[in-house]
Amino acid sequence: MNATHNLTRASLQTLDTPAAIIDVPRMQHNIARMQSRMDALGVRFRPHVKTSKCVEVAHAQIAAGATGVTVSTLKEAARFFDDGVTDILYAVGMVASKLPAALALRRRGCDLKIITDSVASAQAIVAFGAEYGETFDVWIEIDTDGHRSGIRPEEDALLDVARVLHDGGARLGGVMTHAGSSYDFDTPEALAAIAEQERAGCVLAATRLRDAGLPCAVVSVGSTPTALAAKHLEGVTEVRAGVYVFFDLVMHNVGVCATDELALSVLTTVIGHQAEKGWAIVDAGWMAMSRDRGTQKQKRDFGYGQICRVDGSLVPGYVLSGANQEHGILSREGEPDPDIVARFPIGTLLRILPNHACATGAQFPEYHAIDPERGLATWPRLHGW
């Protein structure tokens, strides 16, 4: 353990701060944990790569058994396809203006799936497909928790959209849902209940399609909390989840991970103090951490992040309590620390666990992946659209 810690410290001291650090053993643990759970539940697993936007991370997920990936932008789809991933679900509702980019990917051999939740978009897809002689593989987005997009499983519109697609020459590939409201719960019972609601709603939608004589091969559900809380996944064919690969403080508050499973942190340097206030000033502000304050309304508010030593071990009770663009304010929760200057002298390297890994990762052009066996590697991260 000490040898590992010394290696970590030595490697990280070579980096400019702020920097995004991936703890590779923790990431591999998280990947193995999720994949083994999916294997036990008898479903395929399609990780959402919007969390990492990093091919090295996706490789690790696929090596562990993942079947294809989920993306949040067509730029991600192109990047991961260039990297050899062919089975890709673009999980944001398709609109006419994005069909040329989707067509281009399919023409290059990408097995891209697209989604819709409206007759208007379904019509645009089939009209475009007819014009260009392309059979798009389209899944219908189902709303199982009122969280965002999708058609409710019992709505008439489900069959309307399905028939537009099926009759219009698209391949009606299946149904998909995302119970994003699972982030709002923090007990095993509530998480199991929302997981079951997500499963049952999506399976109901599939059943309605099949009962109407329509095809529905895929039943795709998921979010990190529901994937980890589901008691069974009867009728489901695949699960999607993203943030589990790194986890974060929001997920810790939800109750699906321990703090020592958090694989993403921000390396920072102490650059000053306001001793009377008990503040250390660090060079990770909101530009590094992101403006995400997802723990603010949860059972424990970590400010802009939890402070750790450079070896990754927690400094309990110390958080990033404030942030400007390139300045973070590190302080003790509750009473100010009168010994803040001695505890964290200028130049001290620290690591900060983020509220929301997807948002924090997005602030960085690359990750620094640290693996005790292989040392430090730079993994680029996709940016923009």
CB of 213 to a copy of itself, least distance (A): 26
- 291 contacts: CB under 8 Å, gap ≥ 6: 323, 359
Among 61, 118, 253, 265, binds a copy of itself (CB under 8 A): 118
Burial of 335 (0-12, 13-18, 19+ CB in 10 A): exposed
Please tell me the distance from the alpha carbon of residue 172 to that of residue 168, in angstroms, as a whole number: 10
Among 190, 217, 271, 377, binds a copy of itself (CB under 8 A): 271
Q: What is the DSSP letter of 243?
A: G
| Binding of a copy of itself by 291 (CB under 8 A) | yes
The DSSP secondary structure of 282-328, one letter per residue, reads ES--HHHH-S--TTTTSSS--BT-EEEETTS-EEEEEEEEEE-SS-E
Closest CB 36 distance from a copy of itself, rounded Å: 27
300 in contact with a copy of itself (CB under 8 A):
no
Cβ pair 33, 26 in contact under 8 A: no
Interface segment toward a copy of itself; rule CB under 8 A; list 161-169, 185-193, 201-209, 282-290 = 282-290
Among 98, 163, 171, 343, binds a copy of itself (CB under 8 A): 98
| Helical residues (DSSP H) of the chain, grouped into ranges | 2-12, 24-41, 55-63, 74-82, 99-107, 119-132, 156-167, 188-211, 224-229, 249-254, 286-289, 340-343, 357-361
Contacts of 207 (CB under 8 A, 6+ apart): 235
141 to 160: interface string for a copy of itself, x by CB under 8 A: --x--x-xx-----------
Determine the 3-state secondary structure of 115 from DSSP. strand
Which residue, 133 or 384, is less far from a copy of itself as judged by CB? Answer: 384
Location of structure tokens 């028939």: 163
Candidates 29, 163, 171, 327: give the one binding a copy of itself (CB under 8 A).
Answer: 327
Binding to a copy of itself in span 235-264, by CB under 8 A: none
Site membership for a copy of itself, residue 273 (CB under 8 A): yes
Neighbours of 205 (CB within 10 A): 30
Per CB under 8 A, does 73 bind a copy of itself? yes
CB-nearer residue toward a copy of itself: 64 or 142:
142
Give me 68's structure tokens.
Answer: 């294809």
Beta carbon nearer to a copy of itself, 43 or 282: 282
For a copy of itself, the binding residues (CB under 8 A) are: 16-19, 50, 72-73, 92-98, 101, 117-118, 120-121, 124, 143, 146, 148-149, 180, 269-274, 277, 281, 283, 286-288, 290-293, 324-327, 329, 345-347, 356, 358-359, 362-366, 383-385
